[in-house]
Amino acid sequence: MGSVGAPPAVRRTLVHFIEDGDTSGYFPQLARHHDRERYRVLFATLKPIEARLRSFMDEERIPWFSLDCRSRLSYAAALPKLVRFLRREGVDILHTHLFDPSVVGLCAGALAGTPVRIMTRHYSDYHTRIRKAWHVRLDQLCTRLSTAVIAVSEHTAEHMVRAEGAPPSKINAIPNGIDFARVRTSSDEAPARLRREYAPNGEALLLVPARLHPEKGHEYVFAALARLRARADRAVVLLVAGVGPFEDTYRRRVRELGCEADVRFLGFRKDLPDLMRAVDLVVVASVAEAFGLVLAEALYLGACVVASRVGGIPEIVEDGVNGCLVPPADVGALALAIDELLNDRGRRERLARSGRDKVVARFRFEDMVRSYEALYDRLAPTSCAPVAVHQR
């Protein structure tokens, strides 16, 4: 009997269902790194698709579809539209991201009979921590409607099993990854130029790269800065890079603390890698964090980091090895850690050097995508056949 060759690879139809877009580049990277020989990749959005993401998908010739929901009141009417889309496109694998798209998307996937439904939990204990009982119940519903769940950290996986009663067999911990080609400085001289701009007189520079939201712990950094001003040997300038609904609140708090002259609200910055390389310390004082992607990016760039010992952060930052960890919401510990590192350049450099190797070894974006695809292959039926492509 002659040898039998391996069966030809089946090209499965995969849809990533998301909210509207993002600023981190995560979804364009997914589109770029998926194996297009084996997967026909589409993207769908719950809300109107962001212009930048739409342009990218069109340039990459990736079909996209939007439900154009403007509020949660429109979700029920949009659900049948998504069901029809999933059936029309012959979707084999539906992969949802974040809370609202997972609730709507997984319900539609179940109604459409989509064979494989996967959800990525990009947050961990947020709903439990703020006591949103109905949100927790919806999280549990999403787990039940999913064939499998991807948790972005071991902490997230453990929380889902322990606090939400998720079946351990459904939960797969796959850490977020970084596209190293994207996380780089714009030029060799850019960090030095930024340092001259924000620290013209030799001030120490701190950077908080996070959306303006209470769970990111900005208020603890502001309070720590106020303590540093009273005892630091040199002036300290805090750069806040991010946008969010609490900017006015935070500006008011900075004024109350008497630190207005020492804080720069920079808004959204495309040159975040340049800023990370320019400053003395990157500070992330989150009170909740499923993973902490910005910290992995900072370590990759060779920055020294101070962060809260919370959520998935300790899976990235090892205290005393590649950064410094402090208890969450502890202003005194945060101020002390920042002060000690600002006064010990040699220690800052040692910690920064050890971070890059860990990130390169454990958080490659390509490895994350291959792990996604391995999960798809394990769950997807082998009889899936390709179907025609419909744009939008």
Domains in the chain, ordered, with CATH?
12-177+365-379 (3.40.50.2000), 190-362 (3.40.50.2000)
**Cβ partners under 8 Å of residue 4, min gap 6:** none
The pLDDT of residue 252 is 97
Locus of tokens 């010739």? 61
State how far the Cα of 35 lies from the Cα of 46, in Å rounded to an integer: 25
Pairing status of strand 64-66 against strand 263-267: unpaired
> For residues 315 and 227, what is the distance between their CA atoms, to the nearest angstrom?
29
Distances (CA, A) of 183 to 79, 137, 295, 340: 37, 37, 12, 28
pLDDT score at 10:
65
Predicted pLDDT at 390: 37
What is residue 392's predicted lDDT score, i.e. its pLDDT?
42
Q: Please state, in angstroms and rounded to a whole number, the distance separating the CA atoms of residues 311 and 286.
A: 9
Question: What is the rounded distance in angstroms from the CA atom of residue 166 to the CA atom of residue 333?
Answer: 35
| Among 352, 350, 324, 349, CA closest to 338 | 324
pLDDT of residue 127: 66
- Between the alpha carbon of residue 332 and those of residues 152, 201, 216, 250, the distances in Å are 30, 27, 17, 20
Task: Give residue 295's identity as a one-letter amino acid code.
Answer: L
Residue 75 has which token pair? Answer: 């979700």
Query: CA-based Rg of the chain, rounded to a whole angstrom?
Result: 23
Which of helix, strand or coil describes residue 48? coil
**Is the entire prediction scored with pTM above 0.75?**
yes
Place of tokens 């208020």: 219
> Integer distance in angstroms from the first to the last C-alpha of the chain?
49
324-336: b (≥16 Cβ within 10 Å) or e: bbbebebbebbbb
Which residue's structure tokens are 């060759």?
Answer: 5
Q: What is the pLDDT of residue 24?
A: 65
Residue 132: the pLDDT is: 76
Name the token pair of 135: 């949100």
Distance (Å, rounded) from C-alpha 50 to C-alpha 23? 10
pLDDT of residue 386: 42
Chain Cα centroid distance, residue 221: 21
Bridge partners, residue 323, by sequence = 319
Q: What is the pLDDT of residues 44-87, one digit of tens each?
A: 999 999 988 899 899 888 999 999 999 999 999 999 999 999 99
At residue 9, the pLDDT reads 56
pLDDT digit string (tens) for 235-284? Answer: 999 999 999 999 999 999 999 999 999 999 999 999 999 999 999 999 99
What's the burial of 178, exposed, middle or buried (CB within 10 Å: 0-12/13-18/19+)? buried
**Angstrom distance (rounded) from CA 245 to CA 262:** 21
Residue 29 has a pLDDT of: 87
What pLDDT is attached to residue 355? Answer: 87
Low-confidence ranges of the chain (pLDDT < 50): 1-8, 383-392
| HSE-CB of 65 using CA atoms within 13 angstroms | 22
Provide the token pair at 33.
Answer: 């790194």
Token pair, residue 274, equals 């340049």
Q: Tell me what pLDDT residue 2 has.
A: 32
